[in-house]
Chains A and B, each alone.
Chain A
Amino acid sequence: MSQSASTVINDMSLQVATVNGSGSQSANMVLLRTLFQMGIPVSGKNLFPSNIAGLPTWYTIRASKDGWIARKKEVDLLVAMNAETAREDVLSLRPGSAVVFDEPLQLGSVRSDLAFYPVPFDKVIQPVSSDAKLKKLLKNMAYVGVVAHLLGMEMGEVEAAIAKQFRKKAKAAELNVRAAMAGFDFAKASLEKKDPFQVRRMDANRGKIIIEGNAAGALGAMFGGVTVVTWYPITPSSSLVETLIGYMRRYRMGADGKSTYAIVQAEDELAAVGMVIGAGWAGARAMTSTAGPGISLMSEFAGLAYFAEIPAVIWDVQRVGPSTGLPTRTSQGDVLSTAFLSHGDTRQILLFPGTVEECFRFGAEAFDIAERFQTPVFVMSDLDLGMNYWMSEPFSYPEKPIARGKVLSKEDLQRLGGFERYRDVDGDGITYRTLPGTDHPAASYFTRGTGHNEKAQYSERPDDWVNNLDRLERKMETARRELPAPILDGTGAEVGIIAYGSSHHALVESRDQMLREKGLKTDYLRILAYPFSPEVRAFVDRHPRVYVVEQNRDGQLAALLKLDLPAELTTRLKSVAHIPGLPLDARSLTDEIVAREGR
């Protein structure tokens, strides 16, 4: 293969295949950061097992001069460190791909259409350390050096990335730099470049940050004024609260040494959401974070909060269900069940962050929305968005003051003489509440999940029941108009596409592919909230065919849309639902939509 004839610059995906628990995560972060520091748009996806140590794991890094950050379906450079999967990993590559492998795996004879780079990692690492345990970890940094040489990464940036990765451990940083150099030197001396992939400095990342969606959501919550946080550990949501704990300890301690917040690890998800509801009732900005199994457990309480009208913020960092499913893989599989979470005529507000910036924004805004509508707000993130690293513009400081909704103070009550908790004074379905402890004899009311009248008194009267349920529906109609509006891109195309959440990144790339490769022009509406904005109906009205792209089997958002739209529009919706347990890629979407369009 001639290098000059087919050099591919800043457009490749690199996959590292290792064993879970072998310490490769630091090495992969160094590769990701090096590319980021070189100004090349980059994204990283951790495809990991539900396991502490021993099972195969893959980390995919994509560099894209065009700024595409979704998972790329094809792997261009494989680093094969795992004996168990090496053969299968190599067999799945496209011709022309490259493979760096641990020499004892003897992969060179498996195929003849790939560029193989055998590296005796044990020997390479021998001069760096004699400690057997340490050597196992340093082997990872040695492949960083090998890849750096093969792709043309700048070693100065590799060193800077290592320094950042081990910023609190100078000795570890120094050892890792030596290991990377050992890999680099070996590759320089012993490997002949046989593949076309190269990276070269760009300037696309100026001012950008790298962050996981869970950390972004945590920051949003902190700046949103959260005061009560409860949780029960569950993948992939745990890191949201764990990151939040770190930030709150640092930035939310009062001058008196007291915390301006309470964070509680609950005994289970029922207790976690129960505490949030108790705290929301008492006036705190309260949140919890969970994933599918936790959401299922929270269902009874979710209905109570909807019906008794109590603000709560619940993050669902979605993983693959049903049941325990694939705990470490991403999906958008909780959308339909969460929209109606709980028995009876329950309806919930959902937010769909699609970027880390929106995780930050909704992390704060969810509290305003929950307190405005006095109801739970579910922030529907997912594992891909939540646990992987994404580039972003820095987040903007929230300019709007914290809005606490319709709460009557002692002074209000003195003026009004009293109030009725569930009376629709303003005609928007949202009623006034008081907080426990308000020092006025007319402040109290009785909160209950049983039937009640406007005065919050127990009632089984049919008219009270119907009035109340109708008003709750009216409240959701108000929400429909006030929730974050969908984002439109493109006008005048015959084909419309609707997507939400992390599917966005594959879809924008797919739209580019469809246009460039097939001349297929599309308009795109990205939905940010449920109940759906009136703009969603208008969009479907303008397009004879609307593809609804999402990451589940049943086309859950498409189903929700069908419930919402007039019958004559529902036949326009075409579900494009993918759930392989891997982050969505553009090529799969392009192939399907192009075929269905008969192109």
Chain B
Amino acid sequence: MAEKTNRLGLTPADYKGSKTTLCAGCGHNAISERILESMYELGIPPERVAKLSGIGCSSKTPAYFMSRAHSFNAVHGRMPSVATGALMANRTLIGLGISGDGDTASIGVGQFVHLVRRNLPLVYIIEDNGVYGLTKGQFSATADAGSTSKSGVVNQLPAIDTCLLAIQLGATFVGRSFSGDKKQLSAMLKAATVHRGTAVLDVISPCVTFNDHEGSTKSYSYMKDHEEPIHELSFIPSYENIAVDYDPGSTVSVKMHDGSRLQLRKLEDGYDPRNKIEAVTRIMTSHAQQEVLTGVLYVNTELPNFYDLLAIPDEPLATLPQERTRPPRKVLDEVMDSLA
């Protein structure tokens, strides 16, 4: 039987990356799979993709999909500026920015804010688990107020809603999904990839190791049941990916790895994502109802993107020939005359 191929004649294997080194069951791995899948299905040549990331568990993931794409794992919280430079230099690249909640909403919030304002064509994925995984479980700025960390610290500060923030800053494509919702996330990634502006996708992605919210005692008891010491942070239980499949307009209650529950509400069919005020109202309403609203929350295809504003040509600036980047001798003569 012939191998499955996309419109370019490439197989899913052409979109593969290295083996993941994240915890088994990590939501981030599911997101990597969805990215790989959507790029394959859209028939995007992997060589045309630039994967950009900051620092953290999420930012390691570009190594785990599309090895045939160039990748740049930069410094913590500063992926937006690196992406901006790279894509200005070569606008023909398809930019995939992978960040986390700490990388975006804490150390990187300044660059995130200004990236969104510029409307740089970039798919900006926040793999959002509310904790710092690599440094073992400290809160990030998207952690809910009142949630408890593994070490027992209660988060006293309000969460930053990155989608709400992005809409307020003028983002032109804002969506929220869940790492285990194959259908929704895959569709959202494809739409974001073809959008000609910054697409901010906040993807809730449970951390199997440090994800304790309310009800985290169940997590402790889970570990106790397995007779492992609860403060032994190197203990990584093996989990299955959490998968959900629910209809537009409905809600689903998701049981997290630690036993806590996440109430997802999917935007109904017919929701008009072009209305900014409505989008903000719906997100804030969902906060009041302690639900997480998923779907494409806001889209604006009318605004100029960063390339339009810079008035740069269609071909990459990076490889313009010398005839176009070094003015002729007579220009220098003219300038010298004006300075005499």
Contacts of B86 in A (CB 8 A): 278-279, 281-282, 436
CB contacts under 8 Å to B, within A456-474, are: 458
If A270-B78, A279-B318 touch, whether A211 touches B89 (CB-CB below 8 Å) is: no
If A251-B331, A259-B311 touch, whether A227 touches B73 (CB-CB below 8 Å) is: no
Contacts of A260 in B (CB 8 A): 313, 317, 320, 324-325
Task: Specify which of A256, A258, A274 is in contact with B82 (CB 8 Å cutoff).
Answer: A274
Q: Is the Cβ of B89 less than 8 Å from the Cβ of A448?
A: no
In the complex, A593 Cα to B327 Cα: how many Å? Answer: 46
In the complex, A260 Cα to B46 Cα: how many Å? Answer: 27
If A264-B84, A437-B48, A458-B63 touch, whether A284 touches B317 (CB-CB below 8 Å) is: yes
Q: Is the Cβ of A435 less than 8 Å from the Cβ of B318?
A: yes
- B296-340 interface mask toward A, CB cutoff 8 Å, 1 = contact, 0 = none? 000000000000001111001111101011110101100110011
B284 nearest CB across to chain A (Å) = 27
Contacts of B322 in A (CB 8 A): 225, 401-402
Task: Specify which of A227, A264, A267, A447 is in contact with B72 (CB 8 Å cutoff).
Answer: A447
Contacts of B327 in A (CB 8 A): 222-223, 251-252
If A402-B322, A437-B70 touch, whether A283 touches B75 (CB-CB below 8 Å) is: no
Q: Is B88 positioned at the interface, with any CB of A under 8 Å from its CB?
A: yes
Contacts of B93 in A (CB 8 A): 282, 436-437
Stretch at the interface among A95-103, A347-355, A391-399, A497-505: A391-399
Q: Is the Cβ of A283 less than 8 Å from the Cβ of B47?
A: no
Contacts of A223 in B (CB 8 A): 326-327, 332
Q: Is A359 positioned at the interface, with any CB of B under 8 Å from its CB?
A: no
Q: Is the Cβ of A436 less than 8 Å from the Cβ of B340?
A: no
Q: Is the Cβ of B340 less than 8 Å from the Cβ of A207?
A: yes
Contacts of A127 in B (CB 8 A): none
If A268-B110, A271-B81, A278-B83 touch, whether A394 touches B336 (CB-CB below 8 Å) is: yes
Task: Specify which of A226, A402, A447 is in contact with B71 (CB 8 Å cutoff).
Answer: A447
Stretch at the interface among A81-89, A438-446, A544-552: A438-446
CB contacts under 8 Å to B, within A223-255, are: 223-228, 230, 247, 251-252, 254
Contacts of B340 in A (CB 8 A): 207-209, 394
Closest to A225 in B: B325
| B contact face: mostly helix, strand, loop, or mixed | helix
In the complex, A447 Cα to B113 Cα: how many Å? Answer: 25
Q: Is B183 positioned at the interface, with any CB of A under 8 Å from its CB?
A: no
Please tell me the size bucket of the interface on A. Answer: 35 or more
Q: Is B175 positioned at the interface, with any CB of A under 8 Å from its CB?
A: no
Q: Is the Cβ of B82 less than 8 Å from the Cβ of A443?
A: no
Of the listed residues B63, B68, B84, B111, the one surrounded by the most CB atoms of chain A closer than 10 A to its CB is B84
Contacts of A279 in B (CB 8 A): 85-86, 88-89, 318
Q: Is A450 positioned at the interface, with any CB of B under 8 Å from its CB?
A: yes
Q: Is the Cβ of A444 less than 8 Å from the Cβ of B318?
A: no
Please tell me the size bucket of the interface on B. Answer: 35 or more
B144 nearest CB across to chain A (Å) = 28
If A281-B82, A402-B322 touch, whether A447 touches B313 (CB-CB below 8 Å) is: no
Q: Is the Cβ of B317 less than 8 Å from the Cβ of A262?
A: yes
Contacts of A427 in B (CB 8 A): none
Q: Is the Cβ of B329 less than 8 Å from the Cβ of A258?
A: no
In the complex, A251 Cα to B325 Cα: how many Å? Answer: 10
Q: Is A80 positioned at the interface, with any CB of B under 8 Å from its CB?
A: no
Q: Is the Cβ of B312 less than 8 Å from the Cβ of A258?
A: yes
In the complex, A275 Cα to B85 Cα: how many Å? Answer: 4
If A277-B85, A300-B75, A401-B322 touch, whether A283 touches B336 (CB-CB below 8 Å) is: no
Q: Is the Cβ of A227 less than 8 Å from the Cβ of B325?
A: yes
Closest to B69 in A: A444
Contacts of A441 in B (CB 8 A): 14, 46-47, 68
Of the listed residues A267, A276, A286, A304, the one surrounded by the most CB atoms of chain B closer than 10 A to its CB is A267
Q: Is B114 positioned at the interface, with any CB of A under 8 Å from its CB?
A: yes
B248 nearest CB across to chain A (Å) = 37
Q: Is the Cβ of A284 less than 8 Å from the Cβ of B73?
A: no
Q: Is the Cβ of B88 less than 8 Å from the Cβ of A267?
A: no
Task: Specify which of A227, A436, A458 is in contact with B317 (CB 8 Å cutoff).
Answer: A227
Contacts of A449 in B (CB 8 A): 73-75
Q: Is the Cβ of B50 less than 8 Å from the Cβ of A257?
A: no
Task: Specify which of A258, A285, A401, A436 is in contact with B90 (CB 8 Å cutoff).
Answer: A436
Q: Is B130 positioned at the interface, with any CB of A under 8 Å from its CB?
A: no
Q: Is A210 positioned at the interface, with any CB of B under 8 Å from its CB?
A: yes
A12 nearest CB across to chain B (Å) = 24
Q: Is the Cβ of A275 less than 8 Å from the Cβ of B81?
A: yes
Q: Is A266 positioned at the interface, with any CB of B under 8 Å from its CB?
A: yes
Q: Is B80 positioned at the interface, with any CB of A under 8 Å from its CB?
A: yes
Contacts of B238 in A (CB 8 A): none
Q: Is A280 positioned at the interface, with any CB of B under 8 Å from its CB?
A: yes
Contacts of B62 in A (CB 8 A): 446
In the complex, A210 Cα to B67 Cα: how many Å? Answer: 53
A518 nearest CB across to chain B (Å) = 38
CB contacts under 8 Å to A, within B76-107, are: 78, 80-90, 92-93
Task: Specify which of A210, A228, A258 is in contact with B311 (CB 8 Å cutoff).
Answer: A258
Q: Is the Cβ of A448 less than 8 Å from the Cβ of B73?
A: yes
Contacts of A539 in B (CB 8 A): none
In the complex, A283 Cα to B318 Cα: how many Å? Answer: 5
Contacts of A247 in B (CB 8 A): 335
If A284-B317, A440-B47 touch, whether A227 touches B81 (CB-CB below 8 Å) is: no
Q: Is the Cβ of A437 less than 8 Å from the Cβ of B85?
A: no
Contacts of B332 in A (CB 8 A): 219, 223, 395, 397
Of the listed residues A230, A251, A434, A448, the one surrounded by the most CB atoms of chain B closer than 10 A to its CB is A448
In the complex, A304 Cα to B320 Cα: how many Å? Answer: 26
Task: Specify which of B63, B84, B312, B329 is in contact with A275 (CB 8 Å cutoff).
Answer: B84
Q: Is the Cβ of B312 less than 8 Å from the Cβ of A259?
A: yes
Contacts of B50 in A (CB 8 A): 282, 436-437
Q: Is the Cβ of A225 less than 8 Å from the Cβ of B326?
A: yes
Q: Is A121 positioned at the interface, with any CB of B under 8 Å from its CB?
A: no
If A223-B332, A259-B311 touch, whether A276 touches B85 (CB-CB below 8 Å) is: yes
In the complex, A367 Cα to B45 Cα: how many Å? Answer: 31
Contacts of B318 in A (CB 8 A): 227, 279, 282-284, 435
In the complex, A444 Cα to B71 Cα: how many Å? Answer: 8
Closest to A458 in B: B63
If A208-B340, A300-B75 touch, whether A446 touches B63 (CB-CB below 8 Å) is: yes
Q: Is A301 positioned at the interface, with any CB of B under 8 Å from its CB?
A: yes
Sample (5) of A-B pairs whose CB atoms are under 8 Å apart: A258-B313, A260-B317, A397-B329, A434-B70, A441-B68
A262-B310, A449-B73 given; name 6 further pairs at CB < 8 Å: A208-B340, A223-B326, A260-B313, A283-B316, A395-B336, A447-B73
**8 A-B pairs with least C-beta separation:** A278-B85, A274-B81, A283-B318, A284-B89, A275-B85, A279-B85, A225-B325, A436-B70
A residues sitting closer than 8 Å to B (CB atoms) are 207-211, 219, 222-228, 230, 247, 251-252, 254, 256-262, 264, 266-268, 270-286, 300-301, 304, 308, 394-395, 397-398, 401-402, 434-441, 443-450, 458
